[in-house]
């Protein structure tokens, strides 16, 4: 009888562990799919930090999960990397942020569905739920920060921001947002640009950052400015609301490299202390 009870106990425990992690790759939802990269040294039980990464225009989630500069960097820091595919639209795979030509699906809803599904399948630490992205994926991250901030603890966009019409205000709550951009970015210039025969316009990045400072009730000037390798980072940390705004500039073009991602993911570990809400 004792052996039978022990066998039953271990069977239930293993079944519970399987339900907790319930892995899939890719994972399919009604609105689309997402790809996964799990830290190779994960023990299968400990809570994982979550990094939702949104790819650039005409890319796919596998471009992130298959890239050691992205997946390797995130996994090394203990993040579960989740990389959804943008919807296939008239100009290629992209994201349906405000001002985008792609309106194939409601991406704010889809991305929260992704986070909800991830939190069902893996044990996620709600103290670290980070959204990041590159280029148009970064523009979608800005929209998440503007309209769904409380479901994440920090945002780390690279080389992409709001498109016109720029929101007059963001009302989803204070944010911890660190934006990285090239001074000579020709694809998404800091001052913005019109695209597709002027039908659409990328907004001014620095003007967009005033929205985040307003949301966090920060002063106009940063209280900290420091060199971080080849980045010059200005930080607004003494704000009235819980949150922090940071702008890191480099003397380059449209790019995201592993050291910048590493620095942003490390910043996200301490920039905000309020846990994320589960979708």
Question: Residue 16 falls within a domain, yes or no?
Answer: no
pLDDT of 23 strictly over 50: yes
Give the pLDDT confidence score for residue 19 in this predicted structure. Answer: 37
How far is Cα 125 from Cα 48, in angstroms, rounded to an integer?
A: 6
**Tokens 């991602």 — which residue?**
261
In sequence order, the β-bridge partners of residue 124 are: 48
Question: Residue 195 falls within a domain, yes or no?
Answer: yes
For the residues 189-194, what does the mean pLDDT come to? Answer: 97
Q: What three-state secondary structure class fits 186? A: coil
Give the pLDDT confidence score for residue 90 in this predicted structure. Answer: 62
- Which domain range does residue 100 map to? 22-268
Give the pLDDT confidence score for residue 7 in this predicted structure. Answer: 37
For the residues 257-278, what does the mean pLDDT come to? Answer: 92
Inter-CA distances, 145 with 28, 59, 60, 125, 129, Å: 24, 22, 22, 19, 12
Note whether 81 and 51 are within 8 A (CB): yes
Question: Residue 12 falls within a domain, yes or no?
Answer: no
Question: Residue 53 falls within a domain, yes or no?
Answer: yes
CATH number of the domain that residue 238 is part of: 3.40.50.1820
Pairing between strand 79-84 and 154-158? unpaired
Give the helix/strand (H/E) hosting 114: helix 107-121
Give the model's confidence band at 273: pLDDT under 50 very low, under 70 low, under 90 confident, else very high: low
Question: Residue 275 falls within a domain, yes or no?
Answer: no
Note whether 208 and 142 are within 8 A (CB): yes
Question: Residue 3 falls within a domain, yes or no?
Answer: no
Question: Residue 4 falls within a domain, yes or no?
Answer: no
pTM over 0.85: yes
Question: Residue 274 falls within a domain, yes or no?
Answer: no
When comparing pLDDT for 115 and 87, which is higher?
A: 115
Q: What percent of the chain has pLDDT over 90?
A: 79
Peptide bond into 177 cis (omega under 30): no
CB within 8 Å of 178: residues ≥ 6 apart = 154, 155, 156, 233, 244, 245, 246, 247, 248, 264, 267, 268, 271
Give the model's confidence band at 22: pLDDT under 50 very low, under 70 low, under 90 confident, else very high: low
How far is Cα 220 from Cα 6, in angstroms, rounded to an integer?
A: 64
Total of domains in the chain: 1
């Amino acid at each position: 009888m004792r052996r039978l009870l022990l066998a039953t106990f271990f069977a239930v425990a293993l079944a519970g562990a399987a339900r907790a992690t319930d892995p899939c790759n890719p994972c399919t939802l009604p609105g689309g799919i997402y790809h996964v990269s799990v830290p190779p040294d994960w023990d299968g039980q400990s809570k994982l930090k979550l990094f939702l990464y949104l790819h650039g225009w005409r890319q796919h989630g596998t471009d992130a999960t298959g890239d050691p500069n992205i997946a390797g960097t995130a996994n090394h820091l203990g993040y579960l990397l989740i990389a959804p595919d943008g919807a296939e639209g008239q100009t290629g795979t992209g994201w349906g942020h405000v001002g985008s030509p792609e309106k194939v699906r409601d991406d704010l809803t889809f991305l929260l569905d992704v986070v909800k599904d991830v939190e069902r399948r893996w044990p996620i630490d709600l103290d670290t739920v980070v959204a990041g992205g590159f280029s148009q994926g970064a523009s979608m991250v800005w929209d998440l920060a503007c309209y769904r901030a409380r479901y994440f603890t920090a945002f780390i966009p690279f080389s992409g921001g709001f498109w016109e019409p720029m929101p007059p205000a963001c009302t989803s709550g204070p944010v911890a947002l660190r934006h990285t951009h090239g001074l000579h970015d020709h694809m998404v210039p800091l001052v913005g640009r019109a695209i597709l025969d002027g039908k659409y316009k990328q907004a001014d990045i620095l003007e967009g950052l005033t929205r985040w400072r307003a949301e966090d009730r920060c002063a106009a000037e940063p209280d900290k400015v420091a060199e971080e390798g080849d980045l010059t980072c200005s930080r607004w940390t003494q704000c009235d609301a819980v949150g922090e705004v940071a702008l890191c500039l480099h003397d380059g073009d449209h790019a995201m490299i592993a050291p910048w991602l590493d620095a942003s993911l490390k910043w996200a570990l301490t920039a905000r202390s309020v846990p994320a809400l589960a979708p």
